Chains A and B, each alone.
Chain A
Amino acid sequence: MTATTIEPAAGEQPAARRPRVPTLVRFLAKRIAITIGLLWGVTVVTFALVHVVPGDAATANLSEQALNDPAVVAAYRAKWGLDQPIWLQYLHYLQNLLHGDLGTSQQTGRPVLTDLVQYVPATLELAVPSMILALVIGTAVGMLAAVRHGRASDQVVRVGSLLGLSTPPFWLSLVVLYLFFYLLGVSPSGGRLSPQFAPPPSVTGMYTVDAALAGQWAAAWDAVQHLVLPVLVLTCLTVATLIRFVRSAMLEVLQQDYIRAAYAKGLPTRTVLGRHLLRAGLVPVITVSGLAFASLLSGTVLVENIFGWPGLGQYAFRSATGLDLPSILGVSLFVALVYTVVNLLVDLLYGLIDPRIRLS
């Protein structure tokens, strides 16, 4: 994370007094400027990369027979503007982008923005509960391991988190499917809803919420059931990272003098852990949590694929294999934006958790 400093020590002279723009406003303006530059960089790099990759959209999207017909290939290239020089294609893209138009997907034939509005909520529906569960479990277990440093329970937690980190997501997905769907028969096999249910009227794009809003309680419960296994897998994968990070951060804090002093003063363990250890240890944890959440939003492709979950990961995968430039750019911009916003929120949270940290 960037742009954080510790405020001046007591006694230091403040800078010369003159009317100043509030710190938060300056901070936000600077971050917005950086974000715009970053997003522009993403368009340049993505545009270049897609054109460096062997093959083009026509190769990826036309039948083999059609590829042997120059008239069909030419018609395809003309339809999608691929017959223009790359620099002109890029200028057109930027021009449209400035008007809020992310282009049309060659895979779906729909505006990329429409696609994102459909697929992002599906991924959010997985990512948000996974992140909440991972945060609660990761913080609690990480703290437990730190407090019981060197004991058997600590060893178990360390081995468990190592296992979690080294487990491939698709493998874990197949294992839980095999266990809960095939062997026990207590879970649906995949998708967002069972075949007998139609998707609820779209309000948020999240089936659980939309079905509840529409009063379709059976569909809402069915949607919740379909969430369980993919959320379980994503939680397992995220919690492993968090546990290691929390444990490490808490261990560092536990060795600080003020913690020893707190114990020496006879403060109850609950007070020491809750008021001092948790607060201080959470600062670095927030950083990794932010990154983990952004990663959940952008990198769940394998899990989404196994569970037939039509989210951003699957959309990104289809776009990449189809060399669908507008969609690839749309997803890249969205992911970059997510990382930027999450970083911003993390920086703002620092100040809330530790008042000594101020924005600069």
Chain B
Amino acid sequence: MSATPRLMRRAGIALTALALASTAAACSAGGDAGSAGGSTLTIDTSFVVKSLDPGHVYEATGNTAVHAMYDTLLTFHGSDMTKPQPDLATSYQASADAKTFTFHLRKDATFGNGDKLTADDVVFSLNRLRNLKASPSVTVANLTATKTDAYTVVVHAAKADPNVPVILTQPYTGIVNAKLVKEKGGTDGADAAKTDSAQKYLDGTSAGSGPYLLDSFDASSQLVLKANPKYWGAKPKFSRVVLRNMDVQNQKLTMSRTKGAELALDLSGTMLEGLPKTLQQSSADDTFYFLTLNADPKISKTTSNPAFVQAVRAAIDYTGVAKLFGGNASPAAGVVPPAFPGALPASEAQHQDLAKAKQLLADAGLHDPSVKLMYPSITYRGVDLGTIATKVQGDVKKAGIKLVLDPQPLTSFLNAQQSGKVAMRFSPQSLNYPVAASLVNNLAPGQGTAATTGWTVARADKAVVAAGKKVQQTLDPAAQQRALQDWQRLLNQHSPYIPMAYNSGVVVASPALSGAVYAPAGWQVDIAAVGTK
């Protein structure tokens, strides 16, 4: 066709008009741009949440919201993890054998519906949590709650555990309105795992006494909290809080333009680079990244050889690995991150020693050893774990060790890890609750992570086993912290774990906010503590 048809011209005009209309719509669409006006606080985060029932919650977003809706017996303020502070309990006494803890409740606490909070609610909440046999139940499996009067609760530990008060700061130990939850199908009976049906209700309505109440919850898009008009404590600054599910890249763009009351919870590591200097940042190193080498010779003769483990340990450039995490990441000294009492001082951070690595391999008769390194192919806290694995691969190659990288989808990684058949793996690790001694329960020979690493009591050095027991048996907090440090030094010599770097979660907040402090306690940020300058 040679001539330009009029139809085509008209189509062109129509298209131009359409484009202009789209542009006009876009141009007038500058609505929120992160400016949550009035008394609305906006929190941007990549949602990790399935439930807001304290008996089921264990993931990051859920913990953050539940902490704002449900009071606990004790709590932590800001990033200070040294000693639990009063919340619903004004004081407590621990028995000398660390098996009985008596909590005295405040008498002015009420639930969102106006019901008074009493010892019955505490007993119901804690026993329900244990009997639900959900993810957080594991931590309180040894605890039983009873009451002595309407405002006194006794928590019994089946085994001596000086850290019970710390456990009772966790969002999943939040106190629910027993009467209301029972009406909605909740039970604290031994068969709660089968018969409790209150989760659905608690995913839609909060039954707590905290500073906020649940307004709406959609696990895919947003979670809205509103101030609890009957809250017994200081009224929160913001009457409404919106937690928005937002991709990390989008969080960075949003915070870069924010003018209102807004904060982001997932910008850490390299994602912090390029943010405006006016934004506030709060962080605390509460995570460690470590290699785990299987100690079972049936799984790998190479990784089960202690000389090989020590050679890998000596071959790693810890400072270089930490740099890859960006932010305030630092080389690891042990398995306890600096945010918690019991961490080894930075002066004891591990160092690369290639000559030692080569010598260890030569002495053990290991020539050109080759091992597969499995890791989850995810980006965690702004860092692609594949980048770290590649760095480790390059480091140990200089000592003559060949690592074959084996990235796996997260579920496959977890499944393989549970099977105990992985020769060598790399992953991040944080504490189950904010007390470093909890790591012993998981990392000691024969326990959780150790069991999936083939590190049994029989295969472990006796000194390590004894040091772990000493941590668990030491009831004085200061003495326990010293025992923890001794245990970590022994782990560095005799364990199949190689901690490489510490890293932090970060709260990035707009300039006008106050109190936006990163909490390594498990709830990321205390929403009710966020105010304006």
Contacts and interface: CB of A to CB of B under 8 A. Distances in A.
A15 B37 CA distance: 74
Given A188-B33, A198-B216, A69 B411 contact: no
B250 interface: yes
A185 interface: yes
A53 to B, nearest CB: 7
A59 B250 contact: no
Contacts of A61: 50
B221 A269 contact: no
B47 to A, nearest CB: 9
Nearest to B247: A306
B22 A75 contact: no
B415 A108 contact: no
Interface in A280-330: 305-310, 314-315, 318, 321, 323
B234 interface: no
Interface in B1-57: 1, 3-8, 11-12, 14-15, 18, 22, 25-34, 36-38, 40, 42, 50-51
B463 interface: no
Interface in B459-492: none
A143 B11 contact: yes
Contact of B135 (A72, A181, A224): A72
Contact of B194 (A78, A109, A149, A192): A78
Given A185-B30, A308-B221, A109 B250 contact: no
In this complex, the interface size class of chain A, counting residues with CB under 8 Å from chain B, is: 35 or more
Interface string A58-90: 011111111111011001101100000000000
Interface string B214-228: 011011111010000
B51 A225 contact: no
B15 A108 contact: no
A217 interface: no
Contact of B25 (A75, A137, A141, A224): A224
Contacts of A72: 133-135, 137-138
B15 A137 contact: yes
Interface stretch (B252-260, B327-335, B398-406): B252-260
Contacts of A66: 58, 134-138
A347 B11 CA distance: 28
Given A78-B194, A141-B15, A182 B256 contact: yes
B350 interface: no
A73 to B, nearest CB: 9
A216 interface: no
Which of B12, B26, B242, B246 has the largest count of A CB atoms less than 10 A from its CB?
B26
B26 A65 contact: no
Interface string B190-228: 000110000110010000000000011011111010000
Nearest to B59: A63
Interface in B474-522: none
Contact of B257 (A144, A174, A185, A226): A185
B442 interface: yes
Contacts of A229: 26
A185 B221 CA distance: 22
Nearest to A178: B253
Contacts of B358: none
A54 interface: yes
Interface in B229-272: 242, 244-247, 249-250, 253-254, 256-257
B410 interface: yes
A228 B34 contact: no
Interface in A136-153: 136-137, 140-141, 143-144, 147-149
Interface of B: 1, 3-8, 11-12, 14-15, 18, 22, 25-34, 36-38, 40, 42, 50-51, 58, 133-139, 141, 193-194, 199-200, 203, 215-216, 218-222, 224, 242, 244-247, 249-250, 253-254, 256-257, 410-412, 414-416, 418, 432, 442, 447-448, 451-452
14 contacts: A54-B412, A60-B414, A67-B414, A79-B194, A108-B219, A147-B5, A148-B1, A149-B1, A181-B254, A192-B221, A224-B25, A225-B30, A270-B5, A310-B245
